[in-house]
C-alpha cells in the first residue's frame, strides 16, 4: 500500500514547476493536460488523478485523467452538486475520505471504471469566489490523506485554476463553453451614481496575479517577504487602533478589532506560511487563502458573516498592497479602462490616470460618497451597488458602464454595443448643444438672471471650467490636493495650486473651501489623535482646522499668498456654531496682519463665507449672516444631518427625497433670511447640478448655483426654458404639503410649464 506523502519530503515546489512547464509547453492542450495529471499522480503516489472543469451549464466535465478510463474524458459530466466531485465544488472545500464508495454523496459512473478506488481527495479550483473545477486524486487502498497532502493539493489546485483561467492552457476556443471565467453576456442592475455612458475593458481594482507571479523563485526570500509584510500589517492595524494612521475616516473600531483578530489569527498566518513553504510567492499565498475564504462564505446569508468576510478581504488587500508596494497609477492600464471594485475611497480613484479611466463600476458604495463625487468631477459614468459584479467579470472583459440607467452590461453582444454607440452619439450631440449655449447668459424666460458656477477640486476641473462655460468656481474642494498626496502638501505646493486655479479662472470668481477632511475623506499621513466611533459626526472639516490651527493657518497663508492683489473668496466647511465661524474668521484676520507686517500684498478684495451644512445654523442665521460676506448651502451634508442618514451608507443614504417639504422648507428659510440681511447665497450641493432639483431651487428664489461640471450644461438648458413667475405660484402649496415627497408634483409642474429637464 502506498503510504506516504511523498510530497512532504520532496516538497511540492518541484512539482509545481513541472506542472507549470508542462502547461506552458507547445503540445496540444489535451496532451498538456494529460501530462499534468500524470505528473500529479506520480508525485502524490496516487493511482488516479483527474481534472474536472465546469461547463457553462454548471456541469463538471472530466477533462483529463490518469488512472480512470480514457473514454470517460469529455464524456463524464456531473450535474451541479452530483457526487463527491460536485460536493467539493459546492462546498468550495477539499474533501478527504478513506473509503469514498460508502459515502452517501458517492455517485457511481460505470464508464469511468473507478470502482476499485477507495481513498479520495478532491480540492476545488477556485477563481475569485467561484469553484471553476475540481482536482481529484484517488488510491485503491483505504487510506487517509494527511494534512500536508490536503494542503498540497490545494496549492496545486490554485496554480491549475490560475493557469487555466489565464488562457495559457486552453485556447480561447476551448474555453468558450467552460465556466473557467464567466463569458456570456450579462446585465446587472445597480444604481446611478454618476451620469454618462462608456464602454471599455475591465480593470479590477484588486488586480489578479499574473501566472508568472505564482511560483517562488526563492522560497526563503518569499518567507521573509511574507513575514515582514505580516508584521507591517499588524503594526499598521495596532497603530490605527491606537488612533493613528488613517482614522480620520478609516475603518470603524469594530472593523479594526476584526482586522486585529484576523491579523493575529493563527490559522490565517499558518495557511499563508504553509502556502509559501509549498512554493507559492507571498502574493499567491495571500490570493489563495483569500479565494478559499471568499468561496467558502459566498453563500452566507447572515449579514454579520458577510461583513466579516469583507473585513477579511480588506485586510488581505492591505497585505497585497504592502507586498506590491506600488500604486494603481503604475499599473499598465488599457486606454479604455472601466474600473471595477467592491468599494473605493476618493483617494484610491484619484490614483488612476485620468485620461485612461472611462467608467467606474462598484459592487457597493453610495451616490453621495466622495468617490462618486470624484467620478462626477471626472465626468465618467459611475454605477454602484452592482451585486456579485466582481465574481462575474474577469480582468480585460469588455463592459458597458451605463450611468443613465444604472446598469452594467458584461461582455455585451455586438448589437448591444452598437446601440450604446448610437446613444453615445446622441450624448455627444447634446454636449455640442451645451457647448453652443456656453456663452449664452443664463436668464429665465421671465428675465431672472441666474449665475451658474461649477464645483472643482482637481486640475482637470480647470479644463471643464472653459468647456462648460461656468461663470466661476462656486466650490473648490481644497482637500482633493491633500488626498492625492503622500504627505501633507507644503505651503509652496498649496500656494502653487491656488495660484494655478485663480489664473485659470481669470476674471471669474473662485470660492476656496478650506480643508474638509473626515467622514469618508482619509488622509493616511495625518495623525488625528483620538479614535472616532462615528467620523461623520466627528472632528471633520473646520473642527479639525480649529483644533489643529497650524494646519489651517498654513492653508490660509497659502490662499492669501495666491490671492495677493486680486479677489480672494474663502469659506469654512461644517460650521455648526457661530463661535466656530468667529474663531475661523479671526484666524483669517491674524494671517492678514501677519502678511501685512511682512509687507506682503494682500488680496484686493477678501470675502469670507460659511458653508451652511449643519442644521443647527437654521435657527441661528440671524446671528451668523451678519458675520459673513456670503454663505453657500452644502445640501449633501445639510440633508444627511437633517435626515440623520449617513450619505456614505447605502442602506440609508437614499431613504429620503431632497424634494420633500422639510428639505424645501429649510432651503426656503435660508433663502429668505439671506434676502432679509442682503447676504449673497449659493447652493453648492449635488442637487444644484440636477435640472429638476435646480428648477425647485430657482423657484425657491436661489439665483446662484454651483454644480458638478457635467450638470452645468443641462441646468443652463433648463434655466433658459423656465418661467419662474408661474412656478412660484405653486410653491406655497408644495411647501405646505403633508406628503413625504413632492417630486412628482414638481415634475408635473415643470412639464406643464415646458421646462427642459
Ligand atoms: C455639501 O456637503 O453639500 C458639499 C458641497 O460639500 P461636500 O460634498 O464636499 O461635503
Ligand atoms: Mg459638505
Domain coordinates in residue numbering, the chain: 13-166, 186-207+331-426, 211-329, 443-463+635-683+685-702+709-757
CATH of domain 13-166: 3.30.450.40
**Ligand 1 atom closest to Cα of 640?**
2
What average pLDDT does range 243-270 have in this prediction?
A: 64
- Over range 683-706, report the average pLDDT: 97
Which residue's alpha carbon is at the smallest distance from atom 4 of ligand 1? 634
Res 664 pLDDT > 90: yes
Q: What is the mean pLDDT of the chain?
A: 88
Residue nearest to atom 3 of ligand 1 (CA): 634
The residue-averaged pLDDT of 549-559 equals 96
Predicted pLDDT of residue 246: 38
Place of cell 445639510: 638
Same fold, 211-329 and 443-463+635-683+685-702+709-757: no
Is there an atom of ligand 1 within 6 Å of 637 CB?
yes
Mean pLDDT throughout 393-412? 94
475 lines ligand 1 (CB under 6 A): yes
Distance from the CA of 73 to the center of ligand 1, in angstroms? Answer: 61
**Architecture of domain 211-329 in CATH?**
Orthogonal Bundle (1.10)
Which among 484, 440, 160, 222 is positioned nearest to 345, based on CA atoms? 484
Question: Taking residues 700-717, what's their average pLDDT?
Answer: 95
- CB 518 within 8 Å of CB 538: yes
* Buried/exposed code over 391-403 (b: 16+ C-beta within 10 A; e: otherwise): bbbbbebbbbbbb
383-387 contacts, C-beta under 8 A, 24 or more apart: 383/190, 383/191, 383/192, 383/193, 383/194, 383/359, 383/407, 383/408, 384/190, 384/191, 384/193, 384/650, 385/190, 385/191, 385/650, 386/188, 386/189, 386/190, 386/361, 386/362, 387/188, 387/190, 387/363
Please check the confidence at residue 8 and state whether its pLDDT lies above 50.
Answer: no
pLDDT tens-digit map of 332-378: 889 999 999 988 877 778 778 888 999 999 998 887 777 787 888 78
Q: Which ligand is nearest to the CA of 455?
A: 1
Asked if the model's pLDDT at residue 250 lies above 50, the reply is: no
Q: Which residues participate in catalysis according to the annotation?
A: 370, 684
Q: What percent of the chain has pLDDT over 70?
A: 91
The domain 186-207+331-426: what is its CATH number?
3.50.30.10
How far is the C-alpha of 42 from the C-alpha of 329, rounded, in Å?
A: 45
**Is the predicted pLDDT of residue 459 greater than 60, yes or no?**
yes
Ligand 1 atom closest to the CA of 637, numbered from 1: 2
Assessment of whether the complete model's pTM goes beyond 0.75: no
If you average pLDDT over residues 10-38, what whole number do you get? Answer: 81
Fold of 443-463+635-683+685-702+709-757: TIM Barrel (3.20.20)
Please state, in angstroms and rounded to a whole number, the distance separating the CA atoms of residues 681 and 91: 60
Ligand 1: residue of 637, 646, 663 to mutate (most ligand atoms within 8 A of CB) is 637
Any atom of ligand 1 within 6 Å of the Cβ of 368: no
Is 479 close to ligand 1, i.e. is its CB under 6 Å away? no
Amino acid at each position: 500500500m502506498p503510504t506516504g506523502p511523498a510530497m512532504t519530503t520532496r516538497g511540492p515546489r518541484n512539482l509545481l514547476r513541472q506542472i507549470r512547464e508542462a502547461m506552458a509547453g507547445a503540445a496540444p492542450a489535451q496532451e498538456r493536460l494529460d501530462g499534468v495529471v500524470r505528473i500529479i499522480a506520480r508525485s502524490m503516489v496516487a493511482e488516479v488523478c483527474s481534472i474536472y472543469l465546469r461547463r457553462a451549464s454548471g456541469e463538471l466535465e472530466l477533462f483529463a485523467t490518469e488512472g480512470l478510463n480514457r473514454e470517460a474524458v469529455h464524456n463524464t459530466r456531473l450535474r451541479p452538486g452530483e457526487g463527491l466531485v460536485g460536493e467539493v465544488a459546492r462546498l468550495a472545500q477539499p474533501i478527504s475520505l478513506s473509503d469514498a464508495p460508502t459515502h452517501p454523496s458517492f455517485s457511481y459512473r460505470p464508464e469511468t471504471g473507478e470502482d476499485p478506488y477507495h481513498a479520495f481527495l478532491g480540492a476545488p479550483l477556485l477563481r475569485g469566489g467561484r469553484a471553476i473545477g475540481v482536482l481529484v486524486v484517488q488510491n485503491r487502498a483505504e487510506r487517509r490523506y494527511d494534512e500536508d497532502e490536503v494542503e498540497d493539493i490545494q496549492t496545486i489546485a490554485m496554480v491549475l485554476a490560475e493557469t487555466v483561467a489565464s488562457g495559457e492552457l486552453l485556447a480561447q476556443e476551448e474555453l468558450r463553453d467552460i465556466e473557467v471565467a464567466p463569458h456570456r453576456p450579462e446585465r446587472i442592475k445597480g444604481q446611478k451614481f454618476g451620469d454618462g455612458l462608456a464602454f471599455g475593458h475591465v480593470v479590477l481594482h484588486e488586480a489578479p496575479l499574473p501566472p508568472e507571479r505564482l511560483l517562488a523563485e526563492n522560497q526563503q526570500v518569499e518567507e521573509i517577504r511574507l513575514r515582514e509584510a505580516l508584521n507591517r500589517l499588524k503594526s499598521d492595524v495596532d497603530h490605527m487602533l491606537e488612533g493613528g494612521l488613517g482614522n480620520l475616516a478609516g475603518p470603524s473600531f469594530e472593523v479594526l478589532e476584526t482586522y486585529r483578530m484576523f491579523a493575529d489569527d493563527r490559522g490565517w498566518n499558518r495557511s499563508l506560511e504553509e502556502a509559501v513553504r509549498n512554493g507559492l510567492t507571498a502574493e499567491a499565498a495571500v490570493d489563495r487563502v483569500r479565494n478559499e475564504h471568499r468561496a467558502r462564505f459566498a453563500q452566507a446569508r447572515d449579514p454579520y458573516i458577510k461583513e466579516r468576510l469583507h473585513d477579511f478581504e480588506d485586510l488581505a488587500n492591505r497585505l497585497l498592497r504592502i507586498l506590491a508596494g506600488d500604486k494603481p497609477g503604475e499599473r499598465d492600464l488599457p486606454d479604455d479602462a472601466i474600473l471595477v471594485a467592491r468599494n473605493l475611497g476618493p483617494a484610491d480613484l484619484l490614483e488612476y490616470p485620468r485620461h485612461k479611466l472611462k467608467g467606474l463600476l462598484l459592487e457597493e458604495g453610495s451616490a453621495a460618497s466622495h468617490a462618486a463625487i470624484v467620478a462626477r468631477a471626472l465626468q465618467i459614468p459611475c454605477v454602484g451597488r452592482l451585486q456579485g459584479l466582481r465574481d462575474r467579470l474577469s480582468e480585460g472583459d469588455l463592459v458597458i458602464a451605463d450611468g443613465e440607467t444604472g446598469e452594467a452590461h458584461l461582455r455585451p453582444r455586438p448589437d448591444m454595443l452598437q446601440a450604446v454607440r448610437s446613444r453615445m452619439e446622441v450624448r455627444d450631440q447634446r454636449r455640442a448643444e451645451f457647448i453652443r449655449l456656453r456663452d449664452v447668459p443664463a436668464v429665465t424666460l421671465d428675465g431672472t438672471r441666474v449665475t451658474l458656477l461649477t464645483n472643482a477640486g482637481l486640475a482637470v476641473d480647470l479644463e471643464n471650467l472653459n468647456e462648460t462655460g461656468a461663470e466661476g468656481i462656486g466650490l473648490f474642494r481644497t482637500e482633493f490636493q491633500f488626498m492625492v498626496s503622500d504627505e501633507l502638501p507644503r505651503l509652496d505646493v498649496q500656494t502653487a495650486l491656488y495660484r494655478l486655479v485663480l489664473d485659470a479662472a481669470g476674471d471669474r470668481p473662485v470660492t476656496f473651501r478650506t480643508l474638509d477632511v473626515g467622514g469618508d475623506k482619509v488622509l493616511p499621513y495625518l495623525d488625528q489623535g483620538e479614535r472616532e466611533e462615528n467620523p461623520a459626526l466627528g472632528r471633520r472639516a473646520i473642527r479639525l482646522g480649529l483644533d489643529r490651527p497650524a494646519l489651517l493657518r498654513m492653508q490660509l497663508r497659502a490662499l492669501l499668498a495666491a490671492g495677493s492683489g486680486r479677489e480672494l473668496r474663502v469659506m469654512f466647511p461644517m460650521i455648526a456654531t457661530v463661535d466656530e465661524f468667529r474663531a475661523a474668521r479671526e484666524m483669517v484676520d491674524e494671517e492678514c496682519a501677519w502678511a501685512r507686517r511682512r509687507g506682503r500684498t494682500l488680496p484686493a478684495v477678501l470675502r469670507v463665507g460659511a458653508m451652511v451644512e449643519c442644521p443647527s445654523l437654521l435657527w441661528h442665521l440671524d446671528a451668523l449672516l451678519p458675520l459673513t460676506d456670503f454663505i453657500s448651502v452644502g445640501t449633501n451634508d445639510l440633508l444627511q444631518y437633517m435626515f440623520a442618514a449617513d450619505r456614505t451608507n447605502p442602506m440609508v443614504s437614499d431613504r429620503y427625497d431632497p424634494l420633500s417639504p422639510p428639505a424645501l422648507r429649510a432651503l426656503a428659510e435660508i433663502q429668505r433670511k439671506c434676502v432679509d440681511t442682503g447676504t449673497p447665497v449659493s447652493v453648492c450641493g449635488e442637487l444644484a447640478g440636477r435640472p429638476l432639483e435646480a428648477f425647485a431651487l430657482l423657484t425657491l428664489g436661489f439665483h446662484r448655483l454651483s454644480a458638478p461640471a457635467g450638470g452645468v450644461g443641462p441646468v443652463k438648458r433648463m434655466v433658459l426654458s423656465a418661467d419662474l413667475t408661474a412656478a412660484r405660484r405653486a410653491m406655497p402649496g408644495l411647501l405646505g404639503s403633508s406628503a413625504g415627497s413632492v417630486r412628482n408634483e414638481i415634475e408635473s409642474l415643470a412639464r406643464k410649464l415646458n421646462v427642459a429637464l
